[in-house]
């Protein structure tokens, strides 16, 4: 069935949640994996990150502030993410501006992570050159000994919130006449919907 304007909600986040749940239910492998595109002083860059939910109208993810993505976002806070779920034939693109989450929000998420992930975040100076994997593994072992119980939140690690300027929904059609609906945010948190040619 075609994706029709008359059949979709006026709020794009409602449609996003519907499609995200459908991908999970269909058994999509890691439906929370998204491609994050940024641009910094070295030019454009894209990589996969893990989506950690929508809150207050923004898409959340976490990273090292001194990583390439962190430095890019400090240089230019505009960014875009792309979800693609082949099992449901859906793609969602989100473009907007990014801000850092406060320390309290970052700590809340960090403490919910498995201990191994906490130690890895503390040990790794993400995106920097290291001599070998052994260097990283030794750093994790040393930190595990130093912090036998609670692992401290690294000073250079935390959350980001991408506030959308627009969200585009793409649905595959076998005849390649795909459906593309884009929601553009207007003043007053009102969304305008428009259809794009495939």
CA dihedral 9, 165, 172, 194 (to 10 degrees): 60
Query: Quick check: 126 pLDDT over 90?
Result: no
* Catalytic annotation present for 176: yes
Query: Quick check: 10 pLDDT over 80?
Result: yes
The SS3 call for residue 125 is: coil
Is the Cα torsion angle 83, 84, 87, 89 positive or negative in sign? positive
Nearest one of 139, 189, 160, 198 to 81, comparing CA atoms: 160
Pull the structure tokens for residue 78. 């505009």
Which entry of 176, 186, 192, 195 is annotated as an active-site residue? 176
Domain of residue 66: give its range. 5-195
CA–CA separation, 185 and 80 (whole Å):
15
Q: What integer pLDDT is reported at residue 63 of this predicted model? A: 95
Q: Which helix (H) or strand (E) holds 158?
A: strand 157-171
Q: What is the CATH number of the domain that holds 134?
A: 2.30.110.10
In the structure, what pLDDT confidence band is assigned to residue 149 with cuts at 50, 70 and 90?
Answer: very high
pLDDT per position as a tens digit, 40-62 = 999 999 999 999 999 999 999 99
For the chain, what is the domain count? 1
Q: What integer pLDDT is reported at residue 129 of this predicted model? A: 85
CA–CA separation, 158 and 110 (whole Å):
8
Count of alpha carbons within 13 Å of 35, Cβ hemisphere only? 11
Q: What are phi and psi of 53, to 5 degrees?
A: 105, 165
Q: What is this structure's pTM?
A: 0.92
Judged by average pLDDT, the poorest of 60-74, 88-102, 114-128 is 114-128
Pull the structure tokens for residue 1. 């069935």
Specify burial of residue 111 (Cβ count, 10 A radius: 0-12, 13-18, 19+).
Answer: exposed
Q: What integer pLDDT is reported at residue 156 of this predicted model? A: 94
């Amino acid at each position: 069935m075609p994706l029709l304007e008359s059949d979709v909600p006026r709020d794009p986040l409602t449609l996003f949640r519907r499609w995200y749940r459908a991908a999970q239910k269909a058994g999509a492998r890691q439906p929370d994996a998204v491609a994050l595109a940024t641009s910094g002083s070295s030019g454009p860059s894209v990589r996969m990150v893990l989506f950690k939910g929508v809150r207050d109208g923004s898409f959340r993810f976490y990273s090292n502030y001194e990583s390439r993505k962190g430095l890019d976002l400090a240089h230019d806070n505009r960014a875009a993410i792309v979800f693609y779920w082949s099992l449901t034939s859906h793609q969602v693109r989100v473009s907007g501006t990014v801000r850092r989450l406060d320390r309290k929000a970052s700590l809340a998420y960090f403490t919910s992570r498995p201990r191994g992930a906490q130690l890895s975040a503390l040990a790794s100076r993400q995106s920097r050159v290291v001599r070998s994997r052994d260097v990283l593994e030794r750093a994790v072992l040393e930190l595990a000994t130093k912090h036998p119980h609670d692992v401290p939140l690294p000073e250079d690690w935390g959350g980001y919130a991408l506030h959308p300027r627009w969200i585009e929904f793409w649905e595959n059609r076998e005849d390649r006449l795909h459906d593309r609906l884009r929601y553009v945010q207007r003043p007053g948190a009102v969304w305008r919907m428009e259809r794009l040619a495939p």
